[in-house]
Amino acid sequence: MDNELKARIERIGKLVEQVHSPAAIELVQTMMDFHRAAIDRMMEIVADTDQLGLDIIGTLAADELVSNMLLLHGLHPLGIDERVKTALDGVRPYLNSHGGDVELIEVADGVVKLRLIGTCGDCPSSTATLRGAIEKAIREAAPEVVSIE
Protein backbone atom coordinates (compact mmCIF):
# COMPACT_ATOMS: atom_id res chain seq x y z
CA MET A 1 0.00 0.00 0.00
CA ASP A 2 1.51 3.34 -0.98
CA ASN A 3 2.11 6.20 1.46
CA GLU A 4 -0.60 8.43 -0.02
CA LEU A 5 -3.23 5.75 0.50
CA LYS A 6 -2.00 5.08 4.06
CA ALA A 7 -2.29 8.80 4.80
CA ARG A 8 -5.84 8.88 3.42
CA ILE A 9 -6.82 5.89 5.55
CA GLU A 10 -5.37 7.59 8.64
CA ARG A 11 -7.31 10.74 7.71
CA ILE A 12 -10.55 8.73 7.58
CA GLY A 13 -9.90 7.54 11.13
CA LYS A 14 -9.28 11.09 12.35
CA LEU A 15 -12.41 12.41 10.63
CA VAL A 16 -14.57 9.65 12.08
CA GLU A 17 -13.28 10.54 15.57
CA GLN A 18 -14.47 14.13 15.00
CA VAL A 19 -18.02 13.14 14.04
CA HIS A 20 -20.44 14.10 16.80
CA SER A 21 -23.72 14.63 14.98
CA PRO A 22 -26.15 11.71 15.37
CA ALA A 23 -27.08 12.02 11.67
CA ALA A 24 -23.43 11.92 10.59
CA ILE A 25 -22.75 8.90 12.81
CA GLU A 26 -25.79 7.13 11.36
CA LEU A 27 -24.64 7.97 7.82
CA VAL A 28 -21.18 6.51 8.43
CA GLN A 29 -22.65 3.38 10.07
CA THR A 30 -25.18 2.90 7.26
CA MET A 31 -22.45 3.20 4.63
CA MET A 32 -20.28 0.73 6.56
CA ASP A 33 -23.21 -1.71 6.76
CA PHE A 34 -23.79 -1.36 3.02
CA HIS A 35 -20.11 -1.92 2.20
CA ARG A 36 -19.95 -4.92 4.52
CA ALA A 37 -23.00 -6.54 2.93
CA ALA A 38 -21.67 -5.97 -0.60
CA ILE A 39 -18.17 -7.25 0.18
CA ASP A 40 -19.62 -10.24 2.01
CA ARG A 41 -21.76 -11.06 -1.02
CA MET A 42 -18.78 -10.74 -3.37
CA MET A 43 -16.81 -13.14 -1.18
CA GLU A 44 -19.74 -15.61 -1.20
CA ILE A 45 -20.03 -15.45 -4.99
CA VAL A 46 -16.31 -16.07 -5.45
CA ALA A 47 -16.20 -18.84 -2.84
CA ASP A 48 -19.20 -20.62 -4.38
CA THR A 49 -17.52 -21.00 -7.76
CA ASP A 50 -14.97 -23.75 -7.04
CA GLN A 51 -11.46 -24.27 -5.70
CA LEU A 52 -10.28 -21.44 -7.93
CA GLY A 53 -12.69 -19.16 -6.06
CA LEU A 54 -11.15 -20.18 -2.74
CA ASP A 55 -7.70 -19.52 -4.19
CA ILE A 56 -8.86 -16.06 -5.28
CA ILE A 57 -10.16 -15.32 -1.78
CA GLY A 58 -6.77 -16.36 -0.38
CA THR A 59 -5.02 -14.09 -2.84
CA LEU A 60 -7.32 -11.19 -1.97
CA ALA A 61 -6.79 -11.75 1.75
CA ALA A 62 -3.02 -11.68 1.22
CA ASP A 63 -3.19 -8.20 -0.36
CA GLU A 64 -2.52 -5.54 2.30
CA LEU A 65 -5.23 -3.13 1.15
CA VAL A 66 -7.92 -5.78 0.61
CA SER A 67 -6.95 -7.54 3.83
CA ASN A 68 -7.44 -4.32 5.80
CA MET A 69 -10.84 -3.76 4.20
CA LEU A 70 -11.90 -7.32 5.05
CA LEU A 71 -10.69 -6.86 8.63
CA LEU A 72 -12.54 -3.55 8.94
CA HIS A 73 -15.78 -5.29 8.03
CA GLY A 74 -15.14 -8.46 10.03
CA LEU A 75 -14.96 -10.55 6.84
CA HIS A 76 -11.36 -11.72 6.75
CA PRO A 77 -11.35 -15.40 5.77
CA LEU A 78 -8.48 -16.22 8.12
CA GLY A 79 -8.93 -16.29 11.87
CA ILE A 80 -6.74 -14.31 14.23
CA ASP A 81 -4.67 -17.40 15.14
CA GLU A 82 -3.79 -18.11 11.52
CA ARG A 83 -2.99 -14.47 10.77
CA VAL A 84 -0.69 -14.27 13.81
CA LYS A 85 1.08 -17.51 12.77
CA THR A 86 1.54 -16.16 9.24
CA ALA A 87 2.94 -12.89 10.62
CA LEU A 88 5.42 -14.81 12.77
CA ASP A 89 6.44 -16.95 9.79
CA GLY A 90 7.09 -13.73 7.86
CA VAL A 91 9.38 -12.29 10.54
CA ARG A 92 11.06 -15.60 11.40
CA PRO A 93 13.89 -15.28 8.80
CA TYR A 94 14.84 -11.92 10.36
CA LEU A 95 14.82 -13.48 13.83
CA ASN A 96 16.86 -16.46 12.61
CA SER A 97 19.45 -14.10 11.13
CA HIS A 98 20.00 -12.80 14.67
CA GLY A 99 20.26 -16.29 16.12
CA GLY A 100 16.76 -16.37 17.50
CA ASP A 101 13.23 -17.50 16.94
CA VAL A 102 9.78 -17.01 18.39
CA GLU A 103 7.28 -19.53 19.69
CA LEU A 104 3.55 -18.82 19.73
CA ILE A 105 2.21 -19.92 23.10
CA GLU A 106 -1.43 -18.94 22.59
CA VAL A 107 -3.87 -16.40 21.25
CA ALA A 108 -6.82 -15.85 23.57
CA ASP A 109 -9.21 -12.94 24.05
CA GLY A 110 -7.09 -10.69 21.86
CA VAL A 111 -3.90 -11.43 23.82
CA VAL A 112 -0.97 -13.01 21.98
CA LYS A 113 1.52 -14.83 24.20
CA LEU A 114 4.97 -15.51 22.75
CA ARG A 115 8.35 -16.84 23.83
CA LEU A 116 11.59 -15.53 22.32
CA ILE A 117 14.04 -18.36 21.72
CA GLY A 118 17.79 -18.43 21.12
CA THR A 119 20.57 -15.94 21.51
CA CYS A 120 18.33 -12.97 20.75
CA GLY A 121 16.67 -13.57 24.13
CA ASP A 122 19.93 -12.82 26.00
CA CYS A 123 20.79 -9.39 24.58
CA PRO A 124 18.52 -6.56 25.81
CA SER A 125 19.03 -4.27 22.80
CA SER A 126 18.66 -7.14 20.35
CA THR A 127 15.56 -8.33 22.17
CA ALA A 128 13.98 -4.87 21.95
CA THR A 129 14.69 -4.64 18.22
CA LEU A 130 13.36 -8.13 17.52
CA ARG A 131 10.34 -7.60 19.76
CA GLY A 132 9.53 -4.44 17.80
CA ALA A 133 9.68 -6.33 14.50
CA ILE A 134 7.46 -9.09 15.90
CA GLU A 135 4.90 -6.66 17.30
CA LYS A 136 4.77 -4.67 14.05
CA ALA A 137 4.17 -7.82 12.00
CA ILE A 138 1.43 -9.05 14.34
CA ARG A 139 -0.35 -5.69 14.54
CA GLU A 140 -0.37 -5.37 10.75
CA ALA A 141 -1.78 -8.88 10.31
CA ALA A 142 -4.19 -8.77 13.25
CA PRO A 143 -5.02 -5.20 14.29
CA GLU A 144 -7.66 -6.47 16.69
CA VAL A 145 -4.93 -7.86 18.98
CA VAL A 146 -5.22 -6.13 22.35
CA SER A 147 -1.76 -6.98 23.69
CA ILE A 148 1.35 -8.97 22.94
CA GLU A 149 3.16 -10.60 25.84
**Residues sharing a CB contact under 8 Å with residue 76, sequence separation 6 or more, in sequence order:** 61, 67, 70, 83
Q: Which domain holds residue 91?
A: 80-148
Instruction: State how far the Cα of 42 lies from the Cα of 52, in Å rounded to an integer.
Output: 14
Which of 35, 50, 72 terminates a domain? The answer is 72
Same domain for 34 and 90, yes or no, is no
What is the per-residue pLDDT for 84?
94
Q: Which residue has the higher pLDDT, 119 or 82?
A: 82
At 3, the pLDDT band (50, 70, 90 cuts) reads confident
Looking at residue 134, which CATH number applies to its domain? 3.30.300.130
What is the per-residue pLDDT for 125?
60
Q: Report the chain's terminal Cα–Cα distance, integer Å.
A: 28
pTM for this predicted structure? 0.68
